């Protein structure tokens, strides 16, 4: 079963952070970062609680903006009727076209090649099975 309250922040197939949105002992999300660096680190501290505002600020960069010209078409393609950042992230795993960071929810076994938008760039030797 997939637990959408816990996820790993991935860089390609490497876990760079663990996030628990509803830890037992607090109502604040809890993050463990495994790397340091402004562009890739999930939160400023190596480990600890973050505010929901900090979480939303980070997640905002993992979805297309509500004001995007073709937002309604993108929502329809995802099977969504309205703009909801968390619903979009659950469907897209927070994959963006311009970086290699994505979210893998607890219980999933996905790899970067399963979710990337630029498969031919990252995995040019992958061949589609044309026998089906």
Model pLDDT for residues 27-64, shown as the tens digit of each residue: 999 999 998 875 667 777 889 999 999 899 888 989 99
E strands, 1-125, are 3-11, 14-20, 30-33, 47-49, 101-106
pLDDT score of 132 = 46
pLDDT score of 125 = 85
Model pLDDT for residues 99-125, shown as the tens digit of each residue: 899 999 999 999 999 999 888 888 888
Residues near 12 by Cβ (< 8 Å), separated by ≥ 6? 100, 112
CA distance 37 to 110: 25
The residue ranking higher by pLDDT, 129 or 47, is 47
Instruction: List residues bridging with 47 in a β-sheet.
Output: 32
The residue ranking higher by pLDDT, 94 or 130, is 94
Ramachandran region, residue 37 (left: φ > 0; alpha: ψ -120 to 50; beta: rest): left
CA distance 83 to 23: 26
């Amino acid at each position: 079963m997939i637990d959408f309250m816990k996820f790993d922040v991935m860089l390609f197939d490497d876990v760079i952070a663990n996030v628990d949105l509803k830890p037992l002992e607090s109502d604040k999300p809890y993050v463990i970062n495994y790397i340091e660096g402004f562009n890739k680190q999930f939160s400023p501290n190596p480990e600890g609680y973050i505010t929901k505002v900090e979480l939303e600020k980070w997640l905002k960069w993992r979805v297309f903006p509500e004001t995007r010209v073709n937002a309604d078409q993108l929502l329809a393609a995802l099977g969504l009727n309205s703009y909801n950042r968390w619903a979009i992230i659950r469907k897209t795993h927070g994959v963006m076209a311009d970086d290699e960071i994505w979210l893998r929810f607890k219980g999933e076994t996905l790899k970067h090649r399963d979710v990337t938008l630029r498969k031919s760039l990252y995995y040019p030797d992958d061949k589609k099975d044309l026998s089906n």
